[in-house]
A and B are shown apart, each in its own frame.
Chain A
């Protein structure tokens, strides 16, 4: 059972409350596809992913980035049972989408970097620690149903 302090809950709430999902989602996913190109494995049907420019301009990537970020909402609103909340999504990612769970960590790292760019000096060490703790719990929950 993950323990969250009041400060950590407030930090996560505040960060996600301040994010423009339509901006951050596409930025995080496109950065992941560019920095870790093997993650493109799952997006064969998305059309042109030939280079960074194509990926950044790709509407399907953008739409999917927004979708993924909204998927994090569930965890933000239910920080005390993230494992249960994501059980179905975990099964989906394992049995239908066949995503290597290591990839979740890669996307989490890219999201961290995109949020850091947006928040600048506001992304202080304590904030980063809380944000990464949150993402680590999400990543762990998404990997839970793999067998």
Chain B
């Protein structure tokens, strides 16, 4: 299920419309992930406050969306483009890759809420494929 030229164009187009809100998207997606999938809290035990919109959550949402922005710029070769991030997730953070799917779903829900007109079924399938590709690239260095 690799990205076609049509998928890449759709992702870039959607990103151009939503990227100015990327901090808000990251904050909302991470906030609700922690609430909807409480098992993800295990990765943030070192934060004093895990409530939606709290300072640590907000800052981290921004960091995550920075990674997504990087991925959009490296859309022609996600594996190579995200190698450093993959090393970080594999050796330092050791996030179980199953969680990439969970956060991807939350990102899709937030984009759907914030941009219902732009998030057409066609944009959705391309973005879903893209986030799957990002998840796969992030898993590259795990084993």
Q: Could you tell me which A residues sit within 8 Å of B by CB distance? A: 30-31, 34-35, 52, 55-56, 109, 112-114, 116-121, 123-126, 128-129, 132
B121 touching A119, Cβ below 8 Å: no
Show 23 residue pairs from A and B whose CB-CB distance is below 8 angstroms, ordered by the A residue: A34-B121, A34-B122, A35-B125, A35-B128, A52-B122, A55-B121, A56-B121, A109-B105, A112-B109, A113-B108, A113-B109, A116-B110, A117-B112, A117-B119, A118-B116, A123-B113, A124-B52, A125-B31, A125-B32, A128-B36, A129-B32, A129-B35, A129-B36
A130 — nearest CB in chain B belongs to which residue?
B36
A128 touching B109, Cβ below 8 Å: yes
For the complex of A and B, 7 pairs with smallest distance between CB atoms = A125-B35, A125-B32, A117-B116, A34-B121, A129-B36, A35-B125, A117-B112
B36 touching A125, Cβ below 8 Å: yes
B87-121 CB mask vs A (1 if < 8 Å, else 0) is: 00000000000000000010011101110100111
CB of B124 closer than 8 Å to a CB of A = yes
A34 touching B124, Cβ below 8 Å: yes
Name 18 extra pairs, CB < 8 A, besides A113-B109, A116-B112, A117-B112.
Answer: A30-B121, A31-B121, A34-B122, A52-B120, A52-B121, A109-B105, A112-B109, A113-B108, A113-B119, A114-B112, A116-B109, A117-B113, A119-B113, A120-B113, A120-B114, A121-B113, A124-B32, A126-B35
Interface size for B (C-beta < 8 A) is: 21
Contacts of B32 in A (CB 8 A): 124-125, 128-129
Tell me which of B113, B122, B125 contacts A116 (CB under 8 A). Answer: B113
Contacts of A112 in B (CB 8 A): 109
Main DSSP-derived SS at the A contact region: helix
Q: How far is the CA of A123 from the CA of B36 in the complex (A)?
A: 12
B33 — nearest CB in chain A belongs to which residue?
A125
Tell me which of B109, B119, B122 contacts A123 (CB under 8 A). Answer: B109
In the assembled complex, the CB of B18 is this many whole angstroms from the nearest CB of chain A, namely 14
Tell me which of B52, B112, B122 contacts A113 (CB under 8 A). Answer: B112
CB neighbors of A among B6-46 (8 A): 31-32, 34-36
Contacts of B36 in A (CB 8 A): 125, 128-129, 132
Contacts of A123 in B (CB 8 A): 109, 113
In the assembled complex, the CB of B1 is this many whole angstroms from the nearest CB of chain A, namely 10
